[in-house]
Amino acid sequence: MDQVHPLQAIQSAIGTAGGDPRPLQRTSLFNNANDGPAAIISKASGVQAGGKREDDGPYFTNNEGIPFPDPAHSKTVGGLPLVSDTFLLQKQQHFNRSKNLERMVHPCGSGAFGYFETTADVSDLTKVLTIIKANFLSGKGVKTPIFMRFSTVTLGREFPDLARNPRGFAIKFYTGEGNYDIVGLNWPVFFCRDPIQGPDVIRSQSRSPKNFLLDYNSLFDLLALTPEANHAGMMFFSDHGTPNGWRHNHGYGCHTFKWVNKEGKFVYIKYHFLAKHGQKQFTADEATKLSGEDPDYSKRELWEAMERGEEVEWVAKIQIMQPEEADANLLGFDPFDVTKVWPRDQFPMHEFGKLVLNKNPENFHRDVEQAAFSPGSMVPGIEDSPDPLLQFRMFFYRDAQYHRIGVNLHQVPVNYPFMSSSFSSLNFDGATRNDANHAGNPQYTPNSFKHKFRPDTAEAPYTVADNIVSRKSHYHHEGKLSDYDQARELYTRVMTPEQREHLHANTADLLRRVTAKVIKVGYLAQLWNIDPGYARAIYELLPSAAKSGEEGFEFVEVQNKAKGAEVARKEAKFRPSKAEERLVGFCPQTNVYNM
């Protein structure tokens, strides 16, 4: 090969003519290395043309750009490899380090780019929000680029996609005031509501620490001892736990959030994203069979739809609650409890936009594996609610990602706020920082040179229930039979007879693998409190081996255990006992900020 590098040749040619070779160099070589994250993501997301660049370097190199001599021969002496073979060493060392840490939860997934478009003026919907503060929601027809990732939850990165599990439904909106993440699920409720139980819920659905086998005892034991978990538990064992791919699912924000206007007035909202192409599910048998035939079913299905040029769409809707209504003592249910929904007859749905996916990522590791969604990443105009699980999730997702990816994760293109009207971060340095970093700014504030804060974006004040620090629960239903009301509604009114039949069969098929009687009885006792017929139907389907022998049991034991199952592991000391011990977030009576 001619030893003159093509750029050198170009440089001499253009250089002699007085031209600058760098523009050419920037658009052709270096695997995007001359583009910063904003330029890369604007192309990868489809906002600008020109992504998917193929490698057009004239020859292979190592990471230092030094020509790589040969694919098949190490440098040897007497036929044995030498540590001075830097090509060999770097190849192996880089390989040894090339897997990111798996996400602790939701490791198996894939995603696509697209856009969100408002289809209604939200000020008409919310009544009080004459102009919502969030600029990507202001007016009709406003388009915002998005990236979405779908996932299973508790099973490993390479477990079959069709495993029984909730599905993650995470959306990153690249808005003009920064990246907004909704980190939701394909059903509207979660298994626990106090953040101190989060790792337990996940561990109970993970593999046994003894032998790494799937652990049915732990799965059912936690449900047996957590009354509020059995609303999500019912979804888990129903065919909602084995949806047909990523895209035939509705998505839910699950938590309650605030939408706020410029005067600091707010409403509480819940998000619903309804699959335009319908909700489709597999039966347990179909999912098991397909898991073997095509373990990548959901990833492939989405990928191929995008490659065919199809658009995948969801209709975005909200339920709205005025702050003064948001009081469990008035409503009879807790609007800030993520194990509960808002009844749709009381809080109807209002359409406000659509989500459209239309473009595959360019590189799985760069764009999907390193994507980092955080419930705390909210833009001005969208704020938290007094939901304790949301409050804690707002912190710990970033913590997980600083560990999994690194503190400069914002430099990964998919995480970069490339549509933001400003990027002037006050967080500096850290491993592999490669943007302008301090960019000439002092590394402390306040300082006498640059002062560009945005007091207009301070959060809307709200008052909470009391000012007592303690471990006392503020969940309205805790320890009460009413904790089961919504699950009963789902079981008796929403589910069809066929759906109930599948639920019973799916549950019995897993419950029969539980070896401890105390767990089987305890779990069915929870279901008895939802509906005695629910517990009975599953008991009847259990094979006799699961009901006889040392760990066998009669149904009457379930019935007896059901009395008091609503207080399972809920210490009397910590249960709410006064009317004011409930979660509220009212508008303050007087102005808090100086106007």
Residue 170 or 382 with smaller CB distance to ligand HEM? 170
Residue 185 or 542 with smaller CB distance to ligand HEM? 185
Residue 318 or 562 with smaller CB distance to ligand HEM? 318
Cβ atoms within 10 Å, residue 42: 21
Tokens of residue 512, six digits: 């029969």
Residue 109 or 145 with smaller CB distance to ligand HEM? 109
Cis amide linkage into residue 160, ω under 30° from 0: no
CB-based contacts of 400, cutoff 8 Å, min separation 6:
103, 104
Within a 13 Å sphere around the CA of 4, how many CA atoms are in the beta-carbon half?
8
- What 3-state class would DSSP assign to 110? strand
3-state SS, one letter per residue, for 30-49 = HHHCCCCHHHHHHHHCCCCC
Residue 102 or 286 with smaller CB distance to ligand HEM? 102
Residue 204 or 242 with smaller CB distance to ligand HEM? 204
Q: What residues make contact with ligand HEM under the rule CB under 6 A? A: 103-106, 109, 149, 151, 168-170, 183-185, 190, 195, 198-199, 202, 254, 338, 371-373, 389, 393, 397, 400-401, 404
**Least distance from C-beta 330 to ligand HEM, angstroms?**
25
- C-alpha 11/C-alpha 235 separation (Å) is 64
- C-alpha 95/C-alpha 76 separation (Å) is 21
The residue sitting closest to ligand HEM, measured at its beta carbon, is 198
- CA-based end-to-end distance of the chain: 72
**Least distance from C-beta 261 to ligand HEM, angstroms?**
25
Asked if residue 486 lies in contact with residue 344, where contact means CB atoms within 8 angstroms, the answer is no
Residue 128 or 202 with smaller CB distance to ligand HEM? 202
**Least distance from C-beta 473 to ligand HEM, angstroms?**
16
DSSP one-letter string for 484-510: GHHHHHIIIIIS-HHHHHHHHHHHHHH
Residue 149 or 476 with smaller CB distance to ligand HEM? 149
- C-alpha 497/C-alpha 499 separation (Å) is 5
CB-based contacts of 203, cutoff 8 Å, min separation 6:
218
**Least distance from C-beta 306 to ligand HEM, angstroms?**
17
Q: Which residue has the tokens 């094979």?
A: 543
